[in-house]
Amino acid sequence: MNTYDESHQEEVRSLIEQLSRYQKAYYVDNQPLVSDTEYDRLFDRLQYLENQYPSLRFPDSPTQRVGSDLDATFPEVRHTIPVLSLDKAYTDSELLAWIERTETKVSRDLGIVIEEKIDGISIVLYYEEGYLVRAVTRGNGTIGNDVTANVKTIASIPLRLNEPVTLAVRGEVYLPKDKFETLNSQMEVPYANPRNLAAGTIRRIKSREVAKVPLQIFVYEGFWEGETDFKDHLSILSKLSSYGFRINSNFAYFTKDAEQAKRQLGAAGLKGYAGAYADIASYIKEHTSKRASLGYEIDGLVAKVNELDVRSQLGYTAHHPRWAMAYKFESPQAQTTLLSIDLQV
């Protein structure tokens, strides 16, 4: 094991303190103190030090748990399945290396779904016998806040499904960019971005105030109670769509060969881009330039293993699933900073 000196220990403690402060400002106060890029840089440095010196991995480290947005104003509810963060890649080669490593680990060719990473707030919708009974924030991943009355104001969320199923549906609640511009211009204290305004709204006490904000949702995971026939993520998306949920059609499906990807996507009855692994880098590049023209904010893409048995085999760390990887864009705040530096030079 590497031996650390006092300066490493001090740096780790200081990073934990700094990141915890930034987490509170971001998740609880909805007024971030630094850009996501700066936050991710500090987080990665902490992770690096902890990997180098495992005895400096403290239980209160932000790398060991999900950043909490729990709010004492709302009742607390335990999630049936923990709601975690995502592991992150910053280049297409890091993402491709993760796919390769994962395939080697399970000794199988995999299908990879790449979705947009919507920059909103995570919500779990719990349905019992087809009825929406609870909507819960991510909270600390294990326990979230019950915000059912507020979430019910979002018209695109079905209150009753066409089958009497019991399941948990995960999605991202967001505020479209144009609606944000209009609302924010009327605010005494404007929010930095649509995510912060959406997060503040979902925790308002009065649901009639929430109803005035045109929040939207995209759902992206479903966990049914009991046995199901689903073998892959594509079938889940297809089923959720048939229940009437809003699925983001801006996604792609990749396998080793493009023809196979096309066939599988067609069989699931889904519209999306189908390609081969060799197309992933250009898909990311194209999507990065498309970002500004979308009607909603995204802060990256999420690559997910399609096969559900492989997901079970890979499992989870305390912080993220091992079957998914986020590809993070540089945050707009960081881009602005870089641009202003460029202009000054």
CB 39 within 8 A of CB 19: yes
CB neighbour list of residue 264: distance below 8 Å, 6 or more residues apart: 111, 232, 234, 253, 255, 274, 306
> Closest Cα to residue 75, out of 10, 136, 119, 123?
136
98 near ligand NAD, rule: CB under 6 A = no
The one catalytic residue in 88, 117, 179, 239 is 117
Structure tokens given for 3: 């031996």
Q: Does 115 bind ligand NAD (CB under 6 A)?
A: yes
Strand ranges (DSSP E) for 183-266? 216-224, 252-255
To 5 degrees, how large is the angle CA 165–CA 136–CA 229? 30
Residue 248 beta carbon to ligand NAD: minimum distance, rounded to whole angstroms:
7
CB of 2 to ligand NAD, least distance (A): 26
* 37 marked ligand binding residue: yes
Nearest to ligand NAD of 149, 334 (CB atom): 334
Does residue 302 touch ligand NAD according to CB under 6 A? yes
C-alpha distance from residue 248 to each of 151, 213, 237 (Å):
19, 21, 9
Nearer to ligand NAD, 66 or 305 (CB): 66
Told to judge if 117 belongs to the known catalytic residues of this protein, a careful annotator would answer yes
- Among residues 9 and 333, whose Cβ is nearest to ligand NAD? 333
Residue 127 binds ligand NAD (CB under 6 A) = no
Residue closer to ligand NAD by CB (options 118, 183) is 118
- Asked if 261 touches ligand NAD (CB under 6 A), the answer is no
DSSP state letter for 146: B
Q: Which of residues 128-157 bind ligand NAD (CB under 6 A)?
A: 138
Q: Is 210 in the site for ligand NAD (CB under 6 A)?
A: no
Per CB under 6 A, which of residues 12..41 are in contact with ligand NAD?
A: 22-23, 25-26, 32-36, 39-40
Nearest 5°: phi and psi at 323? Answer: -100, 10
What whole-number distance in Å separates Cα of residue 202 and Cα of residue 173?
A: 9
Residue 302 near residue 327 (C-beta atoms within 8 A):
yes
To the nearest whole angstrom, how small is the minimum distance from the Cβ of residue 32 to ligand NAD? 4
Q: Which residues contact 203 (CB under 8 A, 6 or more apart)?
A: 71, 73, 74, 137, 145, 147, 150
- If the CB atoms of residues 50 and 172 are measured against ligand NAD, the closer one turns out to be 172
**Residues at the site binding ligand NAD, with contacts judged by CB under 6 A:** 22-23, 25-26, 32-36, 39-40, 66-67, 85-86, 115, 117-118, 122, 138, 172, 220, 302, 326
Annotated binding site for NAD(+): 36-40, 85-86, 115, 138, 172, 304, 328
- List active site positions: 117
